[in-house]
Structure 1
Amino acid sequence: MRPLLVQAATVVAVLLVVLGVASTLARRRIGLVHLVVAAVLEAVLLVQAAVAAAALVGGDRPPDTATFVSYVVGVVLVPVAGVLWARTERTRWAGTVLAVAGAVVGVMVWRLLQLWEATGA
Structure 2
Amino acid sequence: MTLPLVVAVTVVAALLAVAGLASTFARRRTGLLHLWGAALLEALLLVQAVLAVVLLVRGERPADTPTFLGYLAGIVLLPIAGVLWARSEPTRWAGTVLAVAAATVGVMIWRLLQLWEATGG
Given the two structures, how large is their TM-score scaled by the length of structure 2? 0.99
Looking at structure 1, the residues matched to 7 and 13 of structure 2 have their Cα atoms a distance apart, in angstroms, of 10
After TM superposition, the structure 1 = structure 2 runs for residues 94-113 of structure 1, keeping only pairs within 5 Å, are 94-113=94-113
Aligned equivalents of 1:57 and 1:119: distance in 2?
18
Deviations 1:27-68 (A, max 9, x none): 001000000000000000000000000000000000100000
Distance 2:112 2:120 in 1: 14
> In the alignment, residue 91 of structure 1 is paired with which amino acid?
T
Residue 12 of structure 1 corresponds to: 12
Structure 1 unaligned regions, length at least 5? none
- Paired with 1:77 and 1:28, the residues of 2 have a C-alpha distance of 25
Q: Which residue does the alignment assign to 1:58?
A: 58
Give yes or no for the alignment of 1:29 onto 2:34. Answer: no
1:119 maps to which residue? 119
Moved over 6 A (4+): none
For 2:50, the aligned partner's letter is A
Partner of 1:80: 80
Q: CA RMSD in A?
A: 0.4
Supply the AA of the counterpart residue of 1:83. V
Deviation readout 1:1-51 (Å, 9 max, x if unpaired): 101110000000000000000000000010000000000000000000000
C-alpha separation between the residues in 1 aligned to 2:5 and 2:67? 19
Query: Which structure 2 residue ranges, 5 or more long, are not aligned?
Result: none
Counterpart Cα distance in 2 of 1:72 and 1:3:
15
Instruction: Kindly tell me the number of residue pairs found equivalent between the two proteins.
Output: 121
